[in-house]
Structure 1
Amino acid sequence: MIRLPSGPRFWCWAYLALCAPVCIALALIVPPGEVADEGSHLARAVALTQGDMIGHREPVRYSDGSTHVAAGVRIDPSWERLTRSRPKDFGGVLYPLDDPPDARGRVFVPLYTVGTYPPFLYAPAAAGLTVGRILGLAPEVCFYLGRLGTATATLAIAIAALALAQRGRVAFFAMLALPMTLSLAASFNQDAPIIALAALAAALLTPRPLAGPGMRLRLSGAIVSLALVVLAKPPYAGLAAMLLIPLPLGEGSGGLARHAVRRLAAAALTVLPAALWTVAATATVATPVPRDAYEAGPLWSGPRPATFTSTDPKAQAQILLDKPARLLTLPGHFLGTIKHLTILAKGSVGIFGWLDRPLPGFVYGLWAVALLAPFLLLRHGTMPPWPESLLLTASAVACLWLVVISQYLTWTNVGENRIDGPQGRYLLPLVPMLVLAFAPTRRSPSPGRWPAMLPVAAAAADLVAVPLAALAMTAPA
């Protein structure tokens, strides 16, 4: 059978040729605000251009007449209006009333959790905005330059991951070429750089053994990449387990112990900045999310009536601690429901807009084949030792659990027996860990590698399908 190209140069050029045009098209076609949480992320990037590294708290008046303290930033109102793609009362949510500008002409924009995020991954978008402002361009034009700034950074990190990976390159390409990844890259959302940095960290750790010239640089690069990911989203702390492999299983207990001490120190160095930032941001910036007044859900064991007007992480934590089994049963029920799993799977491939603009059905089918067939058919060679695969798989499951639990604490109404908020895009940063766990370490001769071209074929189909889906977003839902 014909052996198809498989070196890093091929995959880098394929990614650049097939994914960069889609990413640029999405950046220019998708209406402002029609990407997940884009309005909030835009406000963070704009605030960064003003020198605001993090949000702050201010009292805000809401549509029901109540006042809540919210985390947010002050920016020119033209930026807030730019991403108001839906009516403020869309979906019946509690929304903030327009606030009079301050002496500098800025209004306060509530961001809640987004207001607590570190500034680092907003730097590319802020750079694009700054270029536009230096050139004297209108905010409407600067907006697209900011999107292209995020896209450029994400594409550059993705290509670096493909170039540096020594195994699992097909899987890395597939994850980085997904319509969801490219949609996030073509926006102000920091999730795209998070996905790309997770892939880069895993790619840097693919050599076996991780020793010799350049390996210290690889390890240092992985530590920095993972530190940025965990700093941005602490529930991904389990990704630091990638730093523990490859395990020196043939060196006896002494070698394994020395290795464990060194790598655990590296993992701690990765997670420590996120822990310190989270504690500080929670104490000084974070606020609950205001909601229309509601009665506590069935898991609430306190006195009734129990009326809440916002989310309440402390109350939710107490509900979990009252019956610790809920720490497993609530996520288990969410992840064990076919409806939720279907939404997560589709969301991982791509659901645009406010999770209400699905892609054409054939795109999901094409990507299902492109993702599964290489995994099932490209398994020639030596697999990683089972302790490594078990460690990384368990860490990925722990990350998923933390992501789901965090949504119960910070986004779900108090006392509910369900979890609101988890989305398919939250799963994508976990994929590189699984690639590292199951990608063959050495390949034996195989008759052909045609399954490796399936993600390339899916990415080629997206050149037409995804921009057309984006164009459809300009029409009313």
Structure 2
Amino acid sequence: MRIINNGMCHFSAHAGWPLFPVLVFLACFLLSAIIPPFQSPDEFDHVKRAYFLTRGQVILDTPTGKSSGGMMDTGLAAYMNAYGRLPFDPDRKLSAAELDEANNIRWTGDQEFSPAPGTGYYFPLIYVPQATGLIIGEMLGLSVNGSYRLARFVVLASASLILSIAFMIHRPSPLAAALLVLPMSFFQLSSASLDGISTAGAILIISVFMRMAIDKELTKPWLLYVLTASVIVVVSCRIHLLPLVLLIFGTVFFTRRKSGLIAGGIASISIMLWLTVAFKTTIDIRVVTGFPVSGIIQHYLPNPLSFVRVLLATLADEELLRFYGQSFLGILGWLDAPFPEDVYTGLYALVVLTALFSTSFKHIEEEWPARLLLVCCALGASLLVFFALLVSWSVHPASIIKGVQGRYFMVPALLVAYALEGGSRAESRLFIGPLLLAALFLFSAFNTTSLLLMRYYLSAEQPEMAKFEMRASLPATSGGSLALSLDQKQMYGPSALKRIAIMFGTFRRKNPGLAELRLRTGEGEVLVIPFDLSDLVDNQYKWFDLDPRPYISGEIVFLSGGGISLWQVHREGGPVTSCLIYEASNGGKRYTRGCPR
């Protein structure tokens, strides 16, 4: 801070702003420990696209009758299936057993085709952070969960680094920073989805443009290179941000350098070339609009008034407007975790107050061209959001536009935030703006954490706890047998088992003799594994390697010797189950409930 002649406190040009992304990083890092995998909308497909990139796949494959996709490790597919039960079911919570089973899934090396609808249009360079985490995790021998968590970390670290660079190039206003600490922003930055990197990249674009508009003829040449590369990467994966290309052309007005025209042309051609290739090679059969997308576009382009009528009808719907506002602030998960109304009220109030103390028209006469261009880009991007969803998500002919979410307007909102702030002078607002930002940060982080715990882990009511009692079976005798009582899941929805562990009781003695583990599949196939009874340890699990088949029953047959028991769990009013550990062929582990883990 510094003191100027009027005695009022102001923040210096960049004081603290490059460190602000560090605070965002720490908050999101903690939230990522709470948020289960794949809970950001379409995150399944984004992670698939990143995995395809690790295999060198830039253009997706398009088998007949399927959406475009690629070959994916079956371990990753199993990991996705483990968390695929959560979306759209707010009452579904995670148990420790489910987490154990999912977190132990390994990379298998086996490949199967998996579609990734909607991602073939995105230039894959944007997925480098996710791909980096996945490939490093796989090379280090981490589980699929460990690799996924590493991918999340690399995405968050990369986005935070980009934001720090952007804030050093041009400091943001408290309003622009406030948009980054909304619950929706926290949630998306904490995921392995695309929003975190694309939003950070957009802020870098705006920051570079503002710096060039301020420095004018003194602009460093490298800024134009950064601006052009960032626009190509961001716009080629976020088509509705196509108006950002205008910022490159706009630099000509400020710097008086024709290189801006060349850079703008290069960016435009690069983006159009990629989109042409992507649209020709990608098939997306997620949504049935009734007509091909190209045909719907050809309907509206010559008839812009038809688009305007549908747009006005959409904006006249009060429920939709309410949804846009709430989903901009934050409806978390797959739009299945809304906040209470009072939280939205608090978020609205803090954002509006921050905006009031962040807006400045002090130097409007010299800054209006840059500000106007930012607002025009925001308006154009917003219109493209509606148009894109009209032609790709709404049944044709449409009366209203479906599929629009508030988070799609994050970058347009950031453009407006920078336009309101101006910034050709080093000084910023009075301390009240950053103070409101700090209040919003704490309010948002607290309520986001509370909602995530409620959504994914806490039941609405305390479940009735079944009573479990561990008992040892009667000791076996020579020539006798002990039946293995598998759990209901293995009997009626069997997994292919790579290993199984059985908990034996030897009564603290060595028991000489031989026995066989016999396991049966539903088709009647039998696997026989002989073992020495003297190798057993009292009250410990013994592992048996299996050939990966879906076994549904088994027994221990004692060829010689005896005096061995199996530990079992007796559940009140339920079946008796042997204490077993099931390890599936993909590495996932499951434990008998009530037995030692």
Q: TM-score, normalised by structure 1?
A: 0.81
Shift of 1:351: 1.5
Task: Report whether the alignment pairs 1:77 with 2:82.
Answer: no
Task: Report whether the alignment pairs 1:282 with 2:279.
Answer: yes
Distance 1:118 1:378, change over 3 A: closer
Distance 1:89 1:232, change over 3 A: closer
Distance 1:336 1:143, change over 3 A: same
Q: Work out the CA distance in 2 between the residues paired with 1:171 and 1:31.
A: 30
Task: Identify which of 421, 425, 429 aligns with 2:407.
Answer: 425
Matches within 5 A, 1:386-465: 386-442=368-424, 448-465=430-447
Task: Identify which of 122, 125, 134 aligns with 1:129.
Answer: 134
Task: Identify which of 314, 317, 322 aligns with 2:294.
Answer: 314
Task: Report whether the alignment pairs 1:206 with 2:210.
Answer: yes
Correspondence for 1:95? none
Letter in 1 for 2:363: T
Shift of 1:246: 6.2
Q: Is the 8 A contact 2:331 2:338 kept in 1?
A: yes
Q: More displaced, 111-120 or 31-40?
A: 111-120
Matches within 5 A, 1:179-190: 179-190=183-194
Letter in 1 for 2:22: L
Q: Is the 8 A contact 2:337 2:455 kept in 1?
A: yes
Shift of 1:8: 2.2
Distance 1:370 1:8, change over 3 A: farther
Q: Work out the CA distance in 1 between the residues paired with 2:428 and 2:51.
A: 52
Distance 1:107 1:16, change over 3 A: same
Q: Answer 1 or 2: higher relative contact order, Cα 8 Å, separation at least 6.
A: 1
Q: Work out the CA distance in 2 between the residues paired with 1:459 and 1:177.
A: 6
Correspondence for 1:47? 52
Shift of 1:329: 1.6
Measured on the aligned residues, the alpha-carbon RMSD in Å equals: 3.0
Correspondence for 1:346? 326
Distance 1:442 1:44, change over 3 A: closer
Letter in 2 for 1:105: D
Q: Is the 8 A contact 2:252 2:260 kept in 1?
A: no
Q: Is the 8 A contact 2:10 2:428 kept in 1?
A: no
Q: Is the 8 A contact 2:66 2:115 kept in 1?
A: no
Matches within 5 A, 1:14-163: 14-17=20-23, 19-59=24-64, 68-84=65-81, 85-87=83-85, 105-163=110-168
Distance 1:248 1:234, change over 3 A: closer
Task: Report whether the alignment pairs 1:467 with 2:473.
Answer: no
Letter in 2 for 1:366: G
Correspondence for 1:374? 354
Q: Is the 8 A contact 1:367 1:455 kept in 2?
A: no
1:362-382 alpha-carbon deviations (Å, 9 max, x no partner): 443333233322332344421
Letter in 2 for 1:424: G
Shift of 1:204: 1.6
Distance 1:349 1:203, change over 3 A: same
Q: Is the 8 A contact 2:159 2:196 kept in 1?
A: yes
Q: Is the 8 A contact 1:73 1:115 kept in 2?
A: no
List, as ranges, runs of 4+ consecutive aligned residues in structure 1 with deviation greater than 6 Å: 88-91, 444-447
Q: Work out the CA distance in 1 between the residues paired with 2:129 and 2:167.
A: 21
Q: What is the SS of the residue equivalent to 1:74? A: strand
Distance 1:88 1:34, change over 3 A: closer
Q: Work out the CA distance in 2 between the residues paired with 1:388 and 1:447.
A: 20
Q: Work out the CA distance in 1 between the residues paired with 2:323 and 2:251.
A: 34
Q: What is the SS of the residue equivalent to 2:356? A: helix
Shift of 1:86: 4.0
Distance 1:286 1:414, change over 3 A: same
Q: What is the SS of the residue equivalent to 2:398? A: coil
Task: Identify which of 174, 184, 190 aligns with 1:170.
Answer: 174
Task: Identify which of 195, 202, 207 aligns with 1:191.
Answer: 195
Q: Is the 8 A contact 2:358 2:433 kept in 1?
A: yes
Correspondence for 2:96? none
1:281-306 alpha-carbon deviations (Å, 9 max, x no partner): 11112334255xxxx8xxxxxxxxxx
Task: Identify which of 205, 217, 233 aligns with 2:238.
Answer: 233
Letter in 2 for 1:171: L
Correspondence for 1:332? 312
Distance 1:206 1:400, change over 3 A: same
1:17-44 alpha-carbon deviations (Å, 9 max, x no partner): 3x22221123221112211111001111
Q: Work out the CA distance in 2 between the residues paired with 1:285 and 1:474.
A: 35
Q: Is the 8 A contact 1:45 1:125 kept in 2?
A: yes
Q: Which has more helix, going by share of residues?
A: 1
Distance 1:44 1:388, change over 3 A: same
Structure 2, unpaired ranges of 5+: 1-6, 90-107, 461-597
Distance 1:88 1:173, change over 3 A: closer
Shift of 1:107: 2.0
Q: What is the SS of the residue equivalent to 1:206? A: helix
Distance 1:190 1:22, change over 3 A: same
Task: Identify which of 210, 227, 238 aligns with 1:222.
Answer: 227
Shift of 1:150: 0.9
Correspondence for 1:8? 14
1:280-334 alpha-carbon deviations (Å, 9 max, x no partner): 111112334255xxxx8xxxxxxxxxxx5xx631342244257431122222322
Q: What is the SS of the residue equivalent to 1:109? A: strand
Correspondence for 2:494? none
Shift of 1:57: 0.4
Q: What is the SS of the residue equivalent to 1:351? A: coil
Q: Work out the CA distance in 1 between the residues paired with 2:87 and 2:41.
A: 17
Shift of 1:7: 4.3
Q: Work out the CA distance in 2 between the residues paired with 1:262 and 1:195.
A: 26
Letter in 2 for 1:454: L
Distance 1:6 1:463, change over 3 A: farther
Q: What is the SS of the residue equivalent to 1:73? A: strand
Q: Work out the CA distance in 2 between the residues paired with 1:410 and 1:455.
A: 37
Q: Which has more strand, going by share of residues?
A: 2
Q: Work out the CA distance in 1 between the residues paired with 2:48 and 2:126.
A: 13
Q: Work out the CA distance in 2 between the residues paired with 1:471 and 1:88.
A: 14
Q: Work out the CA distance in 1 between the residues paired with 2:427 and 2:225.
A: 33
Shift of 1:232: 1.0
Distance 1:5 1:389, change over 3 A: closer
Letter in 1 for 2:142: L
